[in-house]
Structure 1
Amino acid sequence: MNRAADPSTTGTRNRRAAVYVRMSTEHQQYSTSNQMDVIREFACLRSMEIVEEYSDEGKSGLNIAGRDALARMIDDVRSGAARFDCILVYDVSRWGRFQDADESAYYEFICRQAGIEVHYCAEQFENDGSPISTIVKGVKRAMAGEYSRELSAKVFQGACRLIRLGYKQGGTAGYGLRRMLVDQSGNQKGELALGEHKSIQTDRVILVPGPDHEVADVRWMFMAFVEEGRTEAEIAAILNARGVKTDFGRAWTLGTVHQVLTNEKYIGNNVYHRTSFKLKRKHVKNEKADWIRAEGAWPPIVFPELFQKAQGIVLERSKRFSNDEMLAKLKELLELHGRLSGILIDERDDLPSSAAFRHRFGSLVSAYSLIGYTPATDYSFIEENRMIRRMHPEIVASVEKQLREIGSWVETEPQTELMLVNGEFLVSVVICRHTTTQRGSSRWAIRFDTGLRPDLTIAVRLQPGNREIRDYYLLPSLDMTWDRLRMAEANGVELDGYQFDDLGFFFRMARRTRIQDLQ
């Protein structure tokens, strides 16, 4: 039994308690029944009466969105409608794996402000507000958030591996294709209907040609577009006149036809990571260079030559428009709908496709910014990513140049940009993006190149906006035992002792001095 369950340590007898339990999908140990067993034992030893239960099953702990029970409990506490004076939770991670540990603390503070204590029944500390419990709880919250980040990275890496092996990861098959379930030996087990999922962990999903009439329809779309010169709108009108429905049973539109004509899965290519929604934060449209792909993953239903001709036509259509004309038409579309998206662009016959805008202006976001439109979703971090990717080699080159100027010998590995200085120690440069928490606090994440085993990491912290350098941290690997480190404005002397406004100290450390000069 943990120390927190000792009734002699608290004065919580005869109290009315609420229970909050949450189960995602990662571990059976976190089933709501297992949580309740521990919580009931905790309550019994302290003579607490459980008067209310709040349960979120199958819910991620990354944020409060979708966790109706937690939101309802917090609302009850805020409004004064709570019939209890303490809350029992299995452990810190069940309260939430919030990516910002301050958010976890914020919800607990709301309860404490209302005079309602939160007890973590399976933890080895008493949540009594003491300095020790505050420190341990802070570490536990950070660990809970870090677990989700690490799990997200592992799941993504696993999905990428399966994509490259030719297996489909999520999503519908699309018109003219079907999802086929295969076992671990590659033997086909049967088609999956819309909405069906595999039930055995080792099974996989591939795409196969659908019914003959759908395959014929897809081939006709490409032929009509390439050979007959028909537009997407004309093709959609013909399909609707024939009574053909999309894979979702809907009428065809310019946009849905365009999606067929531009999707590589019809030539057998398995493409993944076009968009991402990691850690339930923001939907991101990823650059084409970041897509994960496997060519020839399944039999094509359209000849690759025909598909490439279709892509050429899509891009060629935009060439008859100047940049100003394209932006003028984009502005007209914005005035008509009050918003912009790739789908809205593709639905217009008199506009180049969204792909053409990306090709001409680098991205849709860039085109939007040129007409003064900012999407409801903030995509500025995409541009920041590009800028930071350009910034890193520039900083490495600058450090290398200054090292050579002071007489140091430097060898830089082109692929990793790891610098060997004076043949004595390895230096890695990492750039730390500035982010802001929901409460307006500044944060930076340092990801150490542990696989490269540098002796010293130069962490370059950026100012808000991520365009200028704020300061530097010189972090020796002997003192850094983490793969990743999250920093705030002030981090305590243990970490801020490595902070410098410039790299003067580093260059003095690396300077070569002749022995006779020391005499």
Structure 2
Amino acid sequence: MRSIRRGIAQDHYPHGPKRAAAYVRMSTEPQTFSPENQLALIRRYAEERGFEIVRVYEDAGRSGLTLEGRDAMRRLLADVECGRADYEAILVYDVSRWGRFQDADEGAHHEHTCRKAGITVHYCAEQFDNDGSIGSTLLKAVKRVMAGEYSRELSVKVFAGQCRLVEKGYRQGGMAGYGLRRLLIDEHGATKAELRHGERKSLQTDRVILVPGPDAEVATVRRIYALFVSGEPERAIAERLNREGISTDLGRPWTRGTVHQILTNPKYVGDNVYNRVSNKLKQRRVTNAPALWVVAKGAFRPVVDAEAFERARTIVEDRSRRYDDAELLDLLARLLRATGALSSLVIDEREDMPSSSVYRRRFGSLLRAYRLVGYAPDRDYRYIEANRHLRALHPEVLTAVRTGLERAGGTVACDPVTDLLDVNGEFTASVVIARYRSTAAGSARWRIRLDSGLAPDVTVAVRMDAGNAAPLDYYVLPRIDMTESHLRLAESNGLSLDGYRFDDLGFFFSLAARASFTEAA
């Protein structure tokens, strides 16, 4: 019936053609799904059904597993939800182009959002009309599940292939790290070139292995191990290296964390380890148990000897052994007697006791742990310490943003008084940090102040995690779309705000990239 209906020529439309938007998406699939092929079929469908395509949303080279990175899809949904859509239908190649969501209900939810706004979604290449009938609803549900299952099966195959390569001693993704370099070899093991930061292999048959880096870096790594096993803690080692003017491989100052990473990563002893953490199918990043790791012993030339690595590992494991509740409270009581006050930062600064997060997990909250050792703060000292930490963090975040823009090819000037960034002389950006707060009911909240005095074109808001220790995610907020001077965010805020949320700043950095006239043409 559908093919017959499509074959009927429509000589005229009594009320004129209906306005429609086209959405196309392609990741790395065959040429069949190229944007040009999708648009060609969509245009034929529009001509047969009496639609006039007034806008095209295109996500090229983007996975359909989530909305992350699909800027065109985000804009489409934001236009629909905010009433900016000037069309009454959305034309998509098929259900899989709408998305390969692992939860089939997610795709249904986005379609329902459009339908609730009076906009219908048409799947042009499917063998059913999306008309709300029982048959089309069932087929659509099956297609959504099949689209998600395709990605799951592909993920299993890709992971198995990566594991085989790791077992053969080849490096799978990620930066080399301080004291190491990535070496490109061909399928026969012959050396081709050393890969610089940001470079990738171009041939599928080529492989990457790790080799020791410059002699100065190798000497520093060995020195870090020697200092640590002789009793010097990570923070003291970091301070020592910074005083001596030694930077990390990214040109940044050393921290306790960067030193700790060198002391605990098996790649420095030559082991190729994979699957320590994973976020398969764009899901939440998880830390895997050692039993799930894929390990190839002695795959690379070691930077440090096995004895030094084992001694460092033993020290770290002994220090982080599991304490029972009584031991944790005894350590906290000793710290209280020594300092006279407790806070998350006071706890975390101690090298000889567990972090504040251990107390939160074990006792439900720091305040409960405080009460159990007889400490009742007059006010929440964590608020003061968190603010102090965030003020110290802002210059580091600002520098990271500026560096990212410049690496993308932009020219950035920073006002020394206001910290306002001028990018390419084309737009200005302000960087703000949003502190994590918890309501009385335990819900997460963040407040963002948009500087109306400086009036930046874009505000980059860094939303901090529950411990206010590291960024959770980022909001890239254009001034033209912001009507309030203050924003109050929860964990989920609807597309009107979460349409501007990103897990990293790659999209924002890309705004600074310059294109040649040839590329632009």
**Which TM-score tier does this pair reach, normalised by the shorter chain?**
0.5 to 0.7
The change in CA–CA distance for 1:335 and 1:151 in structure 2 (over 3 A counts) is farther
Q: CA deviation at 1:90?
A: 0.7
Partner of 1:93: 96
Partner of 1:467: none
Aligned pair 1:44/2:36, yes or no?
no
Q: CA deviation at 1:78?
A: 2.5
Identity fraction in percent: 54
Equivalent pair of 1:237/1:252 in contact (CA under 8 Å):
yes
Letter in 2 for 1:59: R
Residues 395-414 of structure 1 mapped to structure 2, 5 A cutoff: none
The change in CA–CA distance for 1:4 and 1:64 in structure 2 (over 3 A counts) is farther
Q: CA deviation at 1:235?
A: 1.7
Partner of 1:169: 172
Partner of 1:26: 29
Equivalent pair of 1:236/1:252 in contact (CA under 8 Å):
yes
Aligned equivalents of 2:129, 2:343: Cα separation in 1: 59
Letter in 2 for 1:3: S
Aligned pair 1:261/2:253, yes or no?
no
Aligned equivalents of 1:113, 1:159: Cα separation in 2: 43
Residues 69-97 of structure 1: CA distance to partner in whole angstroms, max 9, x if unpaired? Answer: 22221222233321111111011000011
The change in CA–CA distance for 1:100 and 1:4 in structure 2 (over 3 A counts) is farther
- For 1:56, what is the secondary structure of its paired residue? strand
Q: CA deviation at 1:252?
A: 1.1
Which consecutive unaligned segments of at least 5 residues does structure 1 have? 339-343, 358-363, 375-519
Equivalent pair of 1:2/1:122 in contact (CA under 8 Å):
no
Aligned equivalents of 1:328, 1:4: Cα separation in 2: 80
Partner of 2:123: 120
- For 1:6, what is the secondary structure of its paired residue? helix
Partner of 2:361: 369
- For 1:17, what is the secondary structure of its paired residue? strand
Equivalent pair of 2:269/2:298 in contact (CA under 8 Å):
yes
Aligned equivalents of 1:215, 1:45: Cα separation in 2: 67
Which of 59, 74, 80 is the aligned partner of 1:56? 59
The change in CA–CA distance for 1:327 and 1:152 in structure 2 (over 3 A counts) is farther
Q: CA deviation at 1:350?
A: 2.6
The change in CA–CA distance for 1:211 and 1:351 in structure 2 (over 3 A counts) is same
Equivalent pair of 1:273/1:291 in contact (CA under 8 Å):
yes
Partner of 2:200: 197
Which of 308, 312, 315 is the aligned partner of 2:314? 312
The change in CA–CA distance for 1:302 and 1:162 in structure 2 (over 3 A counts) is same
Partner of 2:343: 336
Residues 400-459 of structure 1: CA distance to partner in whole angstroms, max 9, x if unpaired? Answer: xxxxxxxxxxxxxxxxxxxxxxxxxxxxxxxxxxxxxxxxxxxxxxxxxxxxxxxxxxxx
TM-score, normalised with respect to structure 2: 0.63
Residues 105-504 of structure 1 mapped to structure 2, 5 A cutoff: 105-226=108-229, 228-317=230-319, 324-326=326-328, 336-337=343-344, 348-352=349-353, 368-373=360-365
Residues 445-488 of structure 1: CA distance to partner in whole angstroms, max 9, x if unpaired? Answer: xxxxxxxxxxxxxxxxxxxxxxxxxxxxxxxxxxxxxxxxxxxx
Aligned equivalents of 2:95, 2:196: Cα separation in 1: 40
Q: CA deviation at 1:259?
A: 1.1
- For 2:248, what is the secondary structure of its paired residue? coil
The change in CA–CA distance for 1:90 and 1:5 in structure 2 (over 3 A counts) is farther
Residues 271-323 of structure 1: CA distance to partner in whole angstroms, max 9, x if unpaired? Answer: 11111111112111111111111100111111101111111222334579775
The change in CA–CA distance for 1:320 and 1:140 in structure 2 (over 3 A counts) is closer
Aligned equivalents of 2:331, 2:275: Cα separation in 1: 30
Letter in 1 for 2:239: A
Letter in 2 for 1:171: G
The change in CA–CA distance for 1:54 and 1:328 in structure 2 (over 3 A counts) is farther
Partner of 2:86: 83
Number of aligned residues: 358
Equivalent pair of 1:274/1:291 in contact (CA under 8 Å):
yes
The change in CA–CA distance for 1:371 and 1:28 in structure 2 (over 3 A counts) is farther
Equivalent pair of 1:19/1:53 in contact (CA under 8 Å):
yes
The change in CA–CA distance for 1:273 and 1:329 in structure 2 (over 3 A counts) is farther
Which of 92, 95, 104 is the aligned partner of 2:107? 104
Residues 238-275 of structure 1: CA distance to partner in whole angstroms, max 9, x if unpaired? Answer: 21122111111111122211111111111100111111
Aligned equivalents of 2:219, 2:253: Cα separation in 1: 18
Q: CA deviation at 1:328?
A: 6.5
CA RMSD of aligned residues (A): 3.1
The change in CA–CA distance for 1:319 and 1:7 in structure 2 (over 3 A counts) is closer
Aligned equivalents of 2:322, 2:154: Cα separation in 1: 48
Aligned equivalents of 2:282, 2:122: Cα separation in 1: 27
User: Greater relative contact order: 1 or 2 (C-alpha under 8 angstroms, separation 6 or more)?
Assistant: 2
Equivalent pair of 2:279/2:286 in contact (CA under 8 Å):
yes
Equivalent pair of 1:5/1:42 in contact (CA under 8 Å):
no
Which consecutive unaligned segments of at least 5 residues does structure 2 have? 367-521
The change in CA–CA distance for 1:349 and 1:17 in structure 2 (over 3 A counts) is same
Aligned equivalents of 1:62, 1:303: Cα separation in 2: 43
The change in CA–CA distance for 1:336 and 1:168 in structure 2 (over 3 A counts) is farther
Residues 194-230 of structure 1: CA distance to partner in whole angstroms, max 9, x if unpaired? Answer: 111111111111100000111111111112222x322
- For 1:127, what is the secondary structure of its paired residue? coil
The change in CA–CA distance for 1:278 and 1:167 in structure 2 (over 3 A counts) is same
